[in-house]
């Protein structure tokens, strides 16, 4: 049963939880009864009521320390939402090896480090709460559709999609579910920054809205609702799944609108 307190007695860690989708997830988990820790490299935006832990997901020792601290302070860990990530613009010709290494280090290895240090805590929790223990990763429409000027970002999210499936297989018999959510373009500070770099931000925003069949960007809360669903006890039979929250962008093929 889902309900307003379906996370009562559960503890969650949200990476990148101080902004955008992650902050929406942390807020929603708190409202549903969870105790929540946020791991972020900038904690100023961590929602009130969360345990804010400053760490960079590229720093293995810092991730270990923050994950262990979260589990210690909250009294164990049931849900990990691995969401910290950055964007990158360009074709395969545009980014240097250093930029490839930097983005893959955050977007892919950041999730690897988080899971690596969280798994011992999740295993302990799985013994008490079968079905309720999970890792949910923020992937992207860029993993499943070819988007222009996103070679590096798409490669990073394609890796997250495959990683999700492999992790789901590795940990299913330990009672740990692993899923990901594939947002379309979501209205977060990230997109604000992207529009700020565009020659014509109003036209760019209109083009992004129009690219999604629903005709608008998805909201951080809509993505968070999908993540919280996959993380929660109602999704006890769901593992190895990618749930798109993309306004129809992946699955639909519309004819041009008639005026
Ligand atoms: N906004 C979109 O359109 C969109 C679409 C698809 C997927 N996503 C994914 O959603 C996730 C969240 O994006 P958002 O739109 O909320 O962005 P955002 O920039 O609002 O939030 C990202 C958060 O991650 C943190 N972060 C970044 N690098 C970090 C690092 N090295 N260590 C620790 N924390 C770090 C940032 O400080 C920030 O708080 C990302 O993984 C992104 O790839 C976003």
Asked if residue 204 lies in contact with residue 217, where contact means CB atoms within 8 angstroms, the answer is no
How many residues does the structure list for the chain? 259
Q: Kindly report the pTM of this predicted structure.
A: 0.97
Residue 106 Cβ contacting ligand 1 at under 6 Å:
yes
With CA atoms as reference, report the closest residue to 83 among 128, 121, 38, 130: 38
Q: What confidence score (pLDDT) does residue 130 get?
A: 79
Asked if residue 106 lies in contact with residue 61, where contact means CB atoms within 8 angstroms, the answer is no
Residue 188 Cβ contacting ligand 1 at under 6 Å:
yes
Contacts of 168 by beta carbon, 8 Å cutoff, 6+ apart? 177, 178, 179, 239, 240
Locate 27 and state its tokens.
Answer: 């807020």
Q: What confidence score (pLDDT) does residue 259 get?
A: 59
Count CB-CB contacts under 10 A for residue 255: 5
Distance from the alpha carbon of residue 135 to the mean position of ligand 1, in angstroms: 17
End-to-end CA separation in angstroms for the chain: 45
153 in active site = yes
Indicate which residue's Cα is closest to atom 23 of ligand 1.
16
Distance from the alpha carbon of residue 127 to the mean position of ligand 1, in angstroms: 31
Asked if residue 51 lies in contact with residue 120, where contact means CB atoms within 8 angstroms, the answer is no
Q: For residues 223 and 104, give the distance between their C-alpha atoms in angstroms, rounded to a whole number.
A: 22
Give the ligand 1 atom nearest the CA of 21.
16
Q: Domains of the chain by range and CATH?
A: 11-187+219-245 (3.40.50.720)
Distance from the alpha carbon of residue 167 to the mean position of ligand 1, in angstroms: 21
For β-strands 177-183 and 242-245, DSSP reports them as parallel
Q: For residues 193 and 19, give the distance between their C-alpha atoms in angstroms, rounded to a whole number.
A: 13
Low-confidence ranges of the chain (pLDDT < 50): 1-2
Instruction: Choose the catalytic residue: 153, 180, 183, 228.
Output: 153
Asked if residue 203 lies in contact with residue 210, where contact means CB atoms within 8 angstroms, the answer is no
Contacts of 246 by beta carbon, 8 Å cutoff, 6+ apart? 141, 182, 183, 184, 212, 218
Q: What confidence score (pLDDT) does residue 1 get?
A: 45
Beta strand ranges found along 27-123 (DSSP E):
35-40, 51-54, 79-82
Residue 47 Cβ contacting ligand 1 at under 6 Å:
no
């Amino acid at each position: 049963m889902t309900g307003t307190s379906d996370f009562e007695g559960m503890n969650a860690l949200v990476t990148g939880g101080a902004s955008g989708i992650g902050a929406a997830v942390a807020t929603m988990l708190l409202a549903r009864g969870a105790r929540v820790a946020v791991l972020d490299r900038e904690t100023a935006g961590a929602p009130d009521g969360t345990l804010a832990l400053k760490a960079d997901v590229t720093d293995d020792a810092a991730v270990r320390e923050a994950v262990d601290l979260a589990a210690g302070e909250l009294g164990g860990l049931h849900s990990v939402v691995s969401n910290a990530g950055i964007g990158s613009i360009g074709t395969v010709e545009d980014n240097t090896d250093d930029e490839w290494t930097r983005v893959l280090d955050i977007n892919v290895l950041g999730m690897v480090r988080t899971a690596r240090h969280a798994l011992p805590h999740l295993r302990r929790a799985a013994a008490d709460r079968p079905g309720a223990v999970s890792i949910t990763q923020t992937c992207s429409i860029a993993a499943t559709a070819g988007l222009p000027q996103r070679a590096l970002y798409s490669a990073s999210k394609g890796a997250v999609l495959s990683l999700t499936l492999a992790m789901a297989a590795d940990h299913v018999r330990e009672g740990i579910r692993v899923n990901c959510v594939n947002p379309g373009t979501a209205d977060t500070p990230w997109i604000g920054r992207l529009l700020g770099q565009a020659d014509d931000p109003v036209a760019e925003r209109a083009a992004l809205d129009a690219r999604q069949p629903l005709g608008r960007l998805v909201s951080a809360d809509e993505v968070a609702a999908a993540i919280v669903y996959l993380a929660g006890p109602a999704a006890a039979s769901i593992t190895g799944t990618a749930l798109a929250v993309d306004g129809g962008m992946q699955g639909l093929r519309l004819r041009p609108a008639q005026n």
